[in-house]
Every structure is written in structure tokens, then in C-alpha cells.
Structure 1
Amino acid sequence: MSKLNLVLLWHMHQPDYRNYATQEFVLPWVYLHAIKDYTDMAYHLERHSKIRAIVNFVPVLLDQLEDYAEQFSTRQIRDPLLRLLATPDLDHLSMKDRLHVFNSCFLNDHHTMLQPYPAYKRLHNLYGILSKRGEGELTYFSGQYLADLLVWYHLAWTGESVRRNNEIVMRLMAKSERFSYADRIQLFDLIGDLLQGLIPRYRKLAESGQIELSTTPHYHPLAPLLIDFSSARDSMPNAVLPVSAVYPGGRNRVAFHLASAIRTHIQRFNEKPTGIWPAEGAVSIPLLNIMAEQNCRWSASGEGVLINSLRQLYSDEAMPDRSDYLYRPYRISGEASEVTLFFRDDRLSDMIGFEYSKWHGRDAAENFIQSLEQIGHSASSGANPIVSIILDGENAWESYPYNGFYFLDDLYSLLDNHADIRTITYRDYIGSPECVKCIFTLPTLIAGSWVYGTFSTWIGEQDKNCAWDMLCAAKRSYELAMESDRLTANEKTEAGRQLASCESSDWFWWFGDYNPAYAVASFDQLFRHNLINLYQLLKLPIPATIFEPISQGGDLETSGTMRRSSLE
């Protein structure tokens, strides 16, 4: 077989869960994924020093991790769930706080994160019995029940690497119940230590040369749509677009998000990022031009984008074999030609994201290696394919037993000494003669994302378009306020930060009836609260429509934080 280059790109992202008006964290997912997934992913890399990988941190996630680290340093906790974990007296909580505990502390994959623990399962069963009788019955739960529930929820969200190596976690899991206030404070302090040590761990891995750290435009905007809504019609010619013809000043906003990401990356890691994973792998030629202007050397997207672009060159009958077009670098004719573009192997990436969690860890790792070997055997003579595996570095592991510990450990072990598969980063690859020899120039690029090769997840449906129109109206108000003398320089800065959060792609991801109603309600409310805060910062009246929910969601449980790259 041909020698094969393997790029593992782990994308780490959570949207901004802070209410800028109160400075409170509305949802706890940043710190929960930090103590479970970001710690485990660092641990596996630290254990396997031969593995090379790319870790992509979205700056708004790093902003929030640093915010949590500061909260623990000052002991001024602005996350309600963390604050409750450290509350001395749980017997006299308000009904609001009690409901917050109950509504939060069973949110996980019950198959992998609740059912394996009899004491936690018992807490859930007790809640199920009383909650059916109405909210008033919840007053019968004692402070001890609430203490045990808070501890078990956080234990369930603790990374497997921590469970195996930290005496506090091992002791608490062995104790199982009747956790004291001292127990809760020990767990609380451990969470602080994990959060404060996280960014330095990844910085050390980068400084050793083992990983490449890449970035994403700062608040994770769907950049091609900010630049031009009509880019959605590249892959969806009949898409219904928002009433607003364009997002006002969209190109400048994308340039701002990118420049801010690069600047803060340098501040945190003492080096400029070589490449950019755009939010949702969403690319277009105008976006690549902005990247080229800021000297970005590589970017990546989904396989569907490449297929749509190649169809401009070939009929379906004349399309090359997948093995001949997918596993090579590309450039686009024109101004963006300085950016080397790579495309994700959707099938293998989705196997990790959705299928291997159902397998025995070793079997899954061996199947993955065999799939790579088959790609190597199918390569043209003299060609050394480069295979891009790109997916979330956090959301997949919740559905794996032991947070994917055995799969990742076995996978990295098999790759450590494989004779024909070399893990590599894009930064190292694009500097090699091998890359130059393999580059293919595309005359055009069909705009799209890693999901289906289109932008259908973020635009083209009534609720999503309504949200875009609301954001466009807010942006026009923002521009008028920036030109006036009503706001101080500091107030303009705060409004700019709030606008950037409103521009995140995450809000549009959740609108639609294919997402579960409880999740849609949370993100719908977050998006509208962000817009409300923006108008308040601009000292302008809040449009009445912002107080009405945008989307209801549906009954499906098959979507959520991750989505397959193909409809097949």
C-alpha cells in the first residue's frame, strides 16, 4: 500500500452562554465539557507522544474557559449550577433553585452517564416518582438528596482520565451517597483546578510540536452567509432567503471575527495560527479571499462541498473515483489561491461521530485502521493520500462507554507504530514537497458547509430566515448608533461584543422542527436575550417581536449538538 498521511482535527467549540447584562452563565456546557472532554482529549495526546493532531479552539470557547478560571480565582461564581454545588445549606433552597437542580442534573446520555451508576439511577427513579405528582411535591426532597444529585451529576460529567487518576473522584464514587458539604467543596475545587490547568496543557502540547493549534473566526459566525445570503443558492438554487437582501456590512464583520481570532490566538499561545477551520466548515470564495488577506495558509471543509465543486468540471458519469479526488490538497483559482484547502472524509469522520460508540473499543479502532489501509491500497501508484478526519472534540464521546477512553487509547496505540500510516498536521504537510506535487487547482468553489454540502441547517427555512431578519434589523440599528454621539467609547465596545455573540452560527442551527423542543426553547431564548441586550446597550427601544419565541422545535431526539454530514 501507499504511505498514508492522516490528519486528525478535533474541533472544540461551545457558543457563548453568558448573559452580558447579568454576567451570569445561562447554561453549564462549557465547564462540563471542559472537565469531561477537553481534559480527556489532552490526556490521550499526552499518553501518546508520537501522535500528531490538530486541535481547533474557537476563541469564544477559550474566552469562557478563562472566565471560569477567573471565577475560581476570585471565588465569585457566576454559574448557577456551580454555585449550588458549593452552597452550604441545601435544605432551604428556593423553589427556583430546586427546579434548576432538577432541570439540570439529569441532562446527559442516560445509557452511558446515568444507568451505570446505581446510586445516581436511584436518585433519578425517586425524582420520577414524585415529579409526576406536580411541582409542589418537589419540596419533599431533602437537602441531602439535592447534595447527592449535584455530586453525582458532576461525577458523571467527569472525564475518564480524571476518574482513573484522581483520588477525590475515586473516593466520592466509592462513597456513593450521603455526600457532605466537605465532599462537595472538594469536588468543586477539583473542577476549578481542571479548568485553570486546561489551556496550559494544550499550550504545552503545542510548544512540544505534537499538536498544531488552529482557530475559527472569533464568535463562530456562518461567514459565507454574513458575506452574502445568496451564497446559499450555490448548492440550493431554489432556497428561500430572508426578506433582508443582505446582512449589513457582512464582509467587514467576517474580517473582524477573523482578525480578532488571530490576535487572541497569538496572545494565548505565542504564535500565529497557520490555518483556519471556518465555523461549520462553511466556505466560499469571498471567505477564502478574506483568509488570504490575513495570511492564512490552509482551511478545510466537508466532502460534499468538494463534490459539488467537481461537478462543475465533470458529468456524473465522468466523475473520478472518490479515492482519486478526496485525499489530496486543493487550491482555488484567483485571489484565494494562497490558501490550501482540504476536504473531510465524511464517511470515516461520521463513523467516529455516530457509529463506533456502539462497537467494542478495540474493534472500532481496528476497523478504522483497516479502512485507512484500504484507502492506501486504492491509491494511485506513487501517490501518498492525505486523509482528513474532522469532527467535534467533545460531543461524540457522551454516547461512548467510558467517554470513548478505550476507543481513543486503542486507536492512538495502533497508530503509534503503524508502518504505513503517519499522523501529521496541515501546517507540516503544506510545507512539504509532497503537498506541492499533489495540489489540484479548482477553477471555482461551490459555497457550502460540512453538513450536506449546503447551508440548509442555517438558512432557507421560515424560522431560520425570521431569525436572520431580526439580526439584520439589529445590525442596522447598531450601525446608526455607532455613527451617533449617544454612546461612549466603552459603550460602543460593549455593544460590539454583544453583536458579535448575536452573529454566532449556533443560534440558527437550533431553529427548526427537527430539533427537540426543550433544546430549541433554550437556544431560542438565548438568541433573543442577546438581541434584547444589544438594543439596551444601544439605548434603543426593543422591537416587540423579539419577545415572541421564534421556533417551537419538534419531538425528534435524533438531531441536537451533532449532525451527520450526509442525508444518506
Structure 2
Amino acid sequence: MAFDPSNAAHPPLRVVLCWHMHQPQYLDAHTGEYALPWTYLHAIKDYVDMAAHLEAEPGARAVVNFAPILLDQIEDYARQVRAFLKGEGQIHDPVLALLVAERPPGDASQRLNLAEACTRANRQRLIEPFGPYRLLADMVTWLKQHPDYVSYQGDHFFFDLVTWYHLVWLGETVRRTDPRIQPLMKQGRDFTLAQRRQLLEVIEELLDGLLGRYRRLAESGRVELSFTPYAHPIMPLMLDMESAHEAAPQAELPQSGQYPDGRARVQWHLQRGLESFERHFGRRPAGCWPSEGSVSDATLTLLDEAGIRWSASGEGVLTHSLKQGREEDLPDDRHWLYQPYRFQDRELSLFFRDDGLSDSIGFRYTDWHGDDAVGDFVHHLEEIGQRWHRDSNNHGRGALVTVILDGENAWEYYPANGYYFLSALYRRLAAHTDIELATFSDCLNARPQRALEHVVAGSWVYGNFDTWVGSRDKNRGWEMLIQAKQIFDEVMSQGQLTPAQAEAATLQLAVCEGSDWCWWFGDYNPSGTVSLFERLYRQHLVHLYRLLGKTPPEELSHVLSRGSGEPAAGGVMRQGQKSDG
């Protein structure tokens, strides 16, 4: 039963841990192949581990948010691998298919590309600890510098490499508990086809059982599952591109102007997302983490009209919203952050991320001893609770601390995929007498909520939309999308497509509307990653034109963005606030 703060003079500090699970569409619908393997790799490592940690600690509670386009990809991978093992189909992911191939590709460039793909892993945490894999990875580095020698590598080199790649991408909880894994790691080399097939069987079991594990956690009340609109679009910008000026008045916007019929597209993503979520989990979610925590008045209005009970965003959005029209700074006690809000006079509740605590998990604690990191985290929570109760205005009301972050990318920067940190985190918080782990739905009716009449449009990253719009490359990405949407509207208005063709084109448009593409555009990101994502974005747009029966613009054959930076965590994550440095 949820704790009612009104029944206690000094109720415990409520803490909501919200993990956001998301990957964009990596399937190239034109070729039928997955261009990048991150969906299934994060599934067998991070999503599996998070479920295991929640299952292991009876007192643990959390919110787990899934992007529906990720759920559908996990389902597709599970189906493909299951069919392959039955001899009824093929695996349409070149990296995963190599694991059980009888021979690697004969073409030298294909071999080198696959070898390079099998070393895309955190060097410190996923390569260095494993001697045989480290040796193979070093050989790949040498081969990239001397590609003419790839033909000298025997088949067993590629099979050992791909086997190790999947071994290190398994969740730590899997490596510790599955009796089929340790013998492979001890053997170290010369893996047979039978052994590689056995490893694929482990992967199939993990993929096939994953969503059921989260569904059972939700049914038992241990986890609240929430959703993001289908393909992870930046809804405020689709509804009104000018909303970017609310938090960044000087931002340069795409020359092509507003996104055509953005309201209808946002409603499509919401409806399709809800349908996908219900199909996978058998229930309608109460809450929505909007893509990248991106909110605006128009966005929140649509969420409320869709029957969503709660939404959330970043601390920067709240500070911008509270500071509007004020000359004085917000109180230093930050009590304004540790409470839920109500959007206008509607039923929609809003929660805001504590950037410092969330970013500590995402970035600061990666090199700490697990117990020390958790001790520091709990200490900060205790200080928040003590400050809150010293304020007589809070008598009888408990504070609420919201921690929201990427639930997949942080852990490969931790020892043992965050095993020690997450184990200690759930154990310490569940046992703490002055802290109560909760979900957002637990907190909907717990206390009076202050109304926010206007929310300054922005995201969880810096409280604005700079990560997705405003630079030359990002704006060009939007302009290409807007041009394609105009063609889409023209073709649809003519009614020349069959219902199946129209559905395929609509789904492909949604893929192109995802937030991840513009996230990567810009020279502050690593060049290799930018190249992978911008090429896939152009391929998605090209396929959309083909589905519409139109010739793709020639500019889609040219590189859109090149990176040259080395941001923290390789650019896959951002911090909520800009560092002073």
C-alpha cells in the first residue's frame, strides 16, 4: 500500500527512480537488415540486468519507461532468433548472424566491417578485463591500419571475435548465474559452431523472456511501466517550431518553417505508442515520459486530452517556468523542486528531475566503488530530507525526489555493468527508515499540488532544445524531414496508395521523425558515431520517398553532418545542466 504522508508528522522522503529505455529504429526497411545492433545488445545486457536487480530486492520499486519503437524491435529480434533456431528463418542482423554462421563473408571489406563492429564497446570496462578479447580487439585495430592483411585472417579469428563480443555484452547477472556462460569465458578461444549456437540459445531466452519479466514486475506492484510516444519525436517542435525560442530566444530555426500538420502527427505517435504499449504489457500506462523530457503547453495539453495522468521533464524546464516574470532568484533550499505540480487546472501531474542526483548516477559515480557511490547518493537524499523537515511550512508533508536518466547507456562505464552499484542502491534505499521508494502514480494524490499555468517549452537537456535544433546541421536535418513530409502530404491527398502502402509510408515517416537523428548532428559528437547515425537517417528518408513512389532528392546521397568531438560517455548521454567548464 502506498504511504500517505498526511498520516505522519515527519513522513519519509519519497524517491522515484525512473529509468528510460530507448533505441531508435535501426532496421533499414529497404534492405530488411538491422544497420546497427544496439537494440538487442542493450536488451541482453542492460534491460536484463535492470529487471534482475529489481527482482532480487523485494523492497525495490522504480518506474521503467519504454519507447514503443524499442518494444517492437525487441519483439522482432526475439521472433527472428526463435525462428532461426527452429530452422524456419534467417537472422537479419549481420553481427548477430555472424555468431552462428558456418563461414564469415568472403569479401575482405565485409570482413573488416564486421570485425570493427565486434569491437564497438567500452575499452576500459568491456574489453580490457578480458585478455583473449583484448588481444583480438588489438588485432582489429592493427587490421584497420593495414586492411590488405584482412585476407590472411582465418575464419576462427572472426568467430572467436564475435563470440567474445556477445559474451561481454551479456548482462553481469547472466554471466554470474547462467551455467552455460562461464565455461565459454574460461575456454577463451576456438569456439565451435555448437558452442556459438548455444550462446545464441541463451540470447534467445533473454530476448524472448524480457518483456514478460517487466510485465510481471508491474503486475506485482514492484514497477510502474510508462511509455514515450511511438518513435520518440520531439513533440513541442513538431507542434510549433517557434517554441524553441521560449528558452533560447536567439536560436536559429530551420528556414522551411513549421512542421506540416504537426498536431496530427503528435496525436498519431501518442495513439500508436499507447496501442503498442498495451499490446506488449496488457495494460494502459498512467504516465508518459515525453521524448527527451520535451514539453510545452501544447504538448502537455495533448497528453492530458489523451488521458495521461502524469508526465515529467528536467529541472531546467521547471526553473525557467518558475522564474518567468520574477526578478528574484528561486529559493536556495530548492523545496520548489521536491514536490509534484499540476498542469494548469487539469488532471495532469508533473514531476521534475533532480539534475545533480541524476547526473551523478549517469556520470560521476562510474569510477567509484559501488558502496561509496551509494553512500554518497543516500547522504545527499538524507540532507534533502533534513532541510525539508526543518521548514515549518512542510510540517506533515514529505518531500519527493525525482531521479530520471537513461536506463541503458550508463552501465558500460561502470565496473561489472553497474552490478555492485545497482545492487547496493536498491538494497540501501529499500532498507532506509527515512526513505521510501515510490512510483509516480503513488504520488498523484499524496499532497496538494501547486499549479503551473505556463510551462516554458524545453527538454531535460539544459531546459531548451539546443540538442535538436539551432545549429546548421540540426536545422538541415529538420529541413530534409519537412521537405519529405510535404511530399508525404501531397501523395496522401491524391489517394493513390493502397491501404497497406499508406500504412507502410506512415510508419516510415514516424521513424524519420525520431529525436535521435538530430541529437547526433553537430561537430561536438564523435565522428564515427555521427557517420553511422546520419547515414541511417538519410537511408530512412530515402526509403520513405520510395514508399511514396517518388525519386529521393539528390542531396540525400551527400553527407549531412560530420562529428569531431569527444563528449562524455561518447555522446550517448548528456548532463541536465551545462558544466561551468
Give the shorter-chain TM-score range: over 0.9
- In 2, the alpha carbon distance for the partners of 1:83 and 1:385 equals 50
Residue type at the aligned position of 1:343:
F
Distance 1:18 1:459 in 2: 25
Work out the CA distance in 2 between the residues paired with 1:355 and 1:36: 21
Deviations 1:33-59 (A, max 9, x none): 011100000000000121111000100
Answer yes or no: is the 8 Å Cα contact 2:255–2:479 preserved in 1.
yes
Shift of 1:486: 2.2
1:136 matched to 2:145? The reply is: no
Letter in 1 for 2:453: P
CA–CA distance in structure 2, aligned partners of residues 513 and 525 of structure 1: 15
SS of 1:15 mapped into structure 2: coil
Question: Could you tell me which of 110, 118, 123 is aligned with 1:105?
Answer: 118
How far does residue 194 in structure 1 lie from its aligned partner after superposition? Answer: 0.7
Find the partner of 1:421 among 431, 435, 442: 435
Q: Is the 8 A contact 2:116 2:140 kept in 1?
A: no
Q: How many Å separate the matches in 1 of 2:254 and 2:139?
A: 47
CA deviations 1:198-224 (Å, max 9, x no partner) are 011111111111101000000000010
Shift, 1:89, TM fit: 2.4
User: Corresponding residue for 1:29?
Assistant: 38
1:149 counterpart residue number: 161
Residue 323 of structure 1, CA deviation: 2.5
Q: 1:289 aligns with which of 301, 309, 333?
A: 301
The answer as to 2:133 corresponding to 1:120 is yes
User: Partner of 1:278 in structure 2?
Assistant: 290
SS class of match (1:240): coil
Unpaired runs of 5+ residues, structure 2, are 1-9, 85-89
Which residue of 2 is the match for residue 333 of structure 1? Answer: 344
Q: Which residue, out of 537, 550, 555, partners 2:560?
A: 550
Pairwise CA distance, 1:96: 3.7
1:347-366 equivalent positions in 2, closer than 5 A? 347-366=356-375
Deviation at 1:557, TM superposition (A): 4.3
> Are the counterparts in 2 of residues 323 and 378 from structure 1 also a CA contact under 8 Å?
no
| From 310, 314, 324, the counterpart of 1:312 | 324
User: Given that residues 233 and 513 in structure 2 are in contact (C-alpha distance below 8 angstroms), is that contact kept between their aligned partners in structure 1?
Assistant: yes
Deviation at 1:313, TM superposition (A): 4.3
> What is the CA-CA distance between 1:268 and the residue it aligns to?
1.6
**Is the Cα contact below 8 Å between 1:242 and 1:460 reproduced in 2?**
yes
Once residues 285 and 84 of structure 1 are traced to their aligned partners in structure 2, the CA distance between those partners, rounded to angstroms, is 48
| 1:322 Cα deviation after fit | 4.3
Within 1, Cα distance between the matches of 2:108 and 2:203? Answer: 26
Question: Residues of 1 paired with 2:19 and 2:165: CA distance?
Answer: 26
Q: Which amino acid aligns with 2:555?
A: T
1:140 deviates by 1.2
| 1:357 CA drift (Å) | 0.8
Aligned to 2:577: 566
Relative to structure 1, the CA distance from residue 301 to residue 243 in structure 2 (aligned partners, 3 Å threshold; closer, same or farther) is: same
CA contact (8 A) 1:131 1:137 kept: no
Contact 2:534 2:559 in 1 (8 A): yes
Q: d(CA) in 2 for partners of 1:485 and 1:31?
A: 37
CA distance in 2: counterparts of 1:165 and 1:126, whole angstroms:
31
1:77-226 matches, within 5 Å, as 77-90=91-104, 93-132=106-145, 134-226=146-238
Partner of 1:504: 514
Q: Deviations over 1:236-279 (max 9, x none)?
A: 00111001120000011001101111122122212110010000
Whether contact under 8 Å (1:333, 1:444) holds in the other structure is yes
- Deviations 1:336-358 (CA, angstroms, capped at 9, x unpaired): x2210000000000000001111
The one-letter code matched in structure 2 to 1:514 is Y
Three-state SS of the structure 2 residue aligned to 1:304 is: helix
Distance 2:542 2:564 in 1: 25
Q: Which amino acid aligns with 2:98?
A: L
Matched, 1:257 2:269: yes
- Equivalent residue, structure 2, for 1:450: 460
Measure, in 2, the Cα distance between the counterparts of 1:27 and 1:514: 21
Change (3 A) 1:127 1:450: same
Q: 1:460: which partner in 2?
A: 470
Distance (whole Å) between structure 1 residues aligned to residue 47 and residue 516 of structure 2? 20
Secondary structure of residue in 1 paired with 2:419: helix
What TM-score do you get using the length of structure 2 for normalisation?
Answer: 0.94
Distance 1:274 1:257 in 2: 16
Distance 1:129 1:259 in 2: 50
Alpha-carbon distance in 2 for matches of 1:352, 1:64:
27
3-state SS of 1:445 partner: coil
Whole-angstrom CA distance in 2 between matches of 1:378 and 1:352:
22
- Once the two structures are superposed, residues 76-106 of structure 1 have per-residue CA deviations (whole angstroms, 9 ceiling, x without a partner) of 211111111110124x632243123222011
Whether the 8 Å CA contact 2:538–2:556 is kept in 1: the answer is: yes
Contact 2:366-2:415 at 8 Å conserved across structures: yes
The aligned counterpart of 1:374 is: 383
Matching residue of 1:323: 334
Cα distance in 2 for partners of 1:181, 1:557 equals: 39
The 3-state SS of whatever aligns with 1:408 is helix
1:300 is paired with a residue of what secondary structure?
Answer: strand
Distance 1:67 1:130, change over 3 A: closer
Give 1:527 shift: 0.6
Number of aligned residues: 559
What 5-or-longer segments of structure 1 have no aligned partner?
A: none
CA contact (8 A) 1:109 1:399 kept: yes
The residue number in structure 2 matching 1:526 is: 536
Distance (Å, rounded) in 2 between the aligned partners of 1:83 and 1:475: 35
Instruction: Find 2:53's aligned residue among 40, 44, 49.
Output: 44
| Aligned-partner Cα distance in 2 for 1:306–1:28 | 36
Moved more, 374-383 or 212-221: 374-383
DSSP 3-state at the match of 1:5: strand
Mapped to 1, the partners of 2:41 and 2:279 lie a distance apart of 25
Per the normalisation by structure 1, the TM-score is: 0.97
Q: Does 1:241 align with 2:253?
A: yes
Aligned to 1:494: 504
* 3-state SS of 1:323 partner: coil
Counterpart of 1:106, as a letter, is T
- Whether the 8 Å contact between 1:2 and 1:376 is mirrored in structure 2 is no
CA distance in structure 1 between the partners assigned to 2:313 and 2:300 by the alignment: 11
The residue identity in structure 2 corresponding to 1:11 is H
Aligned match of 2:27:
18
User: How many Å separate the matches in 2 of 1:2 and 1:303?
Assistant: 24
- 1:124 Cα deviation (Å)? 2.0
In structure 1, the partner of 2:3 is none
Matched to 2:246, the amino acid is D
CA contact (8 A) 2:333 2:387 kept: no
User: Could you give the per-residue CA deviations for residues 17-74 of structure 1, whole angstroms, max 9, x where no partner exists?
Assistant: 0011122100000010011100000000000121111000100000100000110122
Alignment correspondent of 2:549: 539
Partner of 1:428, secondary structure, is: helix
Distance 1:125 1:52 in 2: 42
What residue identity is the alignment partner of 2:364? E
Query: What's the C-alpha RMSD, in Å, of the aligned pairs?
Result: 1.2
Deviation at 1:122, TM superposition (A): 1.2
